[in-house]
Structure 1
Amino acid sequence: MCQLLGMNCNVPTDICFSFSGFQARGGATDVHADGWGIAFFEGRGTRLFLDPQPSASSPVAELVSHYPIRSKNVIAHIRKATQGSIKLENTHPFMRELWGRYWIFAHNGNLLDFTPALDGSFVPVGNTDSERAFCWLLQSFRQRFGDHMPDDAALFDALHELTLGIAAHGEFNFLLSNGDCLLVHASTRLSYIVRQAPFAKAHLNDQDITVDFSEVTTAHDRVAVIATLPLTDNEAWTTMPPGTLWRFAEGNVEAQRVTRPGPPRN
């Protein structure tokens, strides 16, 4: 299966430290060698880097790990292919426009017999179950809310309902964002940590790198990091219970709902 990495902050922050550990899992310390990608929101714009090569040996990933792009919402993915060939068009994260905003989506899992009817408003470019699920989610949002983006609570309620149907088809860990917040579904395995004052040192699991966050932050900073497996070995990460949907905003958990798969929906 793939691995996910997300970051949500109250101030624009770079993800170089976390990404350095995450990058190693793409073919060095783990077997996820079928491509990688990362998306950074900057205002309403998005920087998206994709490469079907292993992240551990990708020159593009090496650039990103040393490029201090500051963002309040970041989504990254390293792939171990289940459905879909190893090609650029099947590399996560995926991006689409809805309501004048870019949406970014990445998925870890495997959805069986998930063949929803798509009306043409959002069409997969590749042939993964992940991109198909993303297109159906956005199509369902548009069908439900029309041409105007709903408020946060209504959107979260709709995503909760839609996630129930998709999760009935299999493992559906995902990260979703439009730049305002980070929406996270823990189908089987995800963990998170919220870093805030007083900041301390952190050491990566996958590389011998340590950073003292007290030297690179202010007392007002707050950063939530979400990963399939904890990235550091000296911090207390919280395991997300399987079957839970989360909304992170301004570096904090703002909402949480339980998801229990219902009958398959097409």
Structure 2
Amino acid sequence: RLFSCPFFVSCVVYRMHCLARFHFISCMDPSLGKVDKSSFSDQTLLELLIENVDNKVAVCGEDIHEWKGLIINDRLEIVAVRWCRKDLSGTMRLEFLPLTLEKVYMKLNKLSGEIPKHTLPESLLALDVAANLFERSLDLCRLPRRMETLIAYTNSLSGTLSLTHLPHSLKTLYLAQNSFTGEVCLTNLPEAMEYLSLGENNLVGSLDFTQLPSTLKSLNLYTNDFEGHADFSHLPECLNFLYIGDTMLSGEIDVRNRKSVLVKGSNIKLIK
């Protein structure tokens, strides 16, 4: 009879909710405010990840095998999430990405939130959240050590950018069309870097182009407040795409054997 009593049932449900919250709090690292994600199943982590996301039905399922856009390996570990163009909005809590993830693609939604400083999976190789509404600062010094690709252009990210302690494995960094400020250093980029895009921000200062990685194929710095005379005589041979227009930089660039160099709106002269 007790189980047929609505009041009794509601009390049981409330108690279970409180116990779940207690378990969640007990898994917090009190010194850093981080969650011990190893204490949760992947199903629970996914539910926490999209807890504040609208239109969950576009991706979620009753169990892990029913979720859309997941890639699961032979060990039943989630290794990739592909949620591009899913009409998702609200806050995506990236701090709850499952620990085994290697690739995350969420571009072209209306998601907000922040890119966490400490809790991205160490196994993460690629993160693409382009064309969303992510905000706050981005700590590039604490990216996963094996990361190869970070794409976050066209968001609302802000703060300064430190490019001197990027993962050695990083090949692609796209951060154009945000609100980053301050100066940037190009003399200690990863040796493996191939694509760097920082255009359409509020970056300032002079730039040293003499120590770019020999692997760099594309460099996009247009529409910033960079200024001063620059030495372009040591550009990498494979740098075929260079966009530095709409800046206050000056100097000369030999564009022979380069596919595309755009300097309109700057004081740079092209040698053909």
The structure that is strand-richer by fraction is 1
The alignment's TM-score, normalised by the length of structure 1, stands at 0.25
The alignment's TM-score, normalised by the length of structure 2, stands at 0.24
Please identify the structure whose Cα radius of gyration is greater. Answer: 2
The structure that is helix-richer by fraction is 1
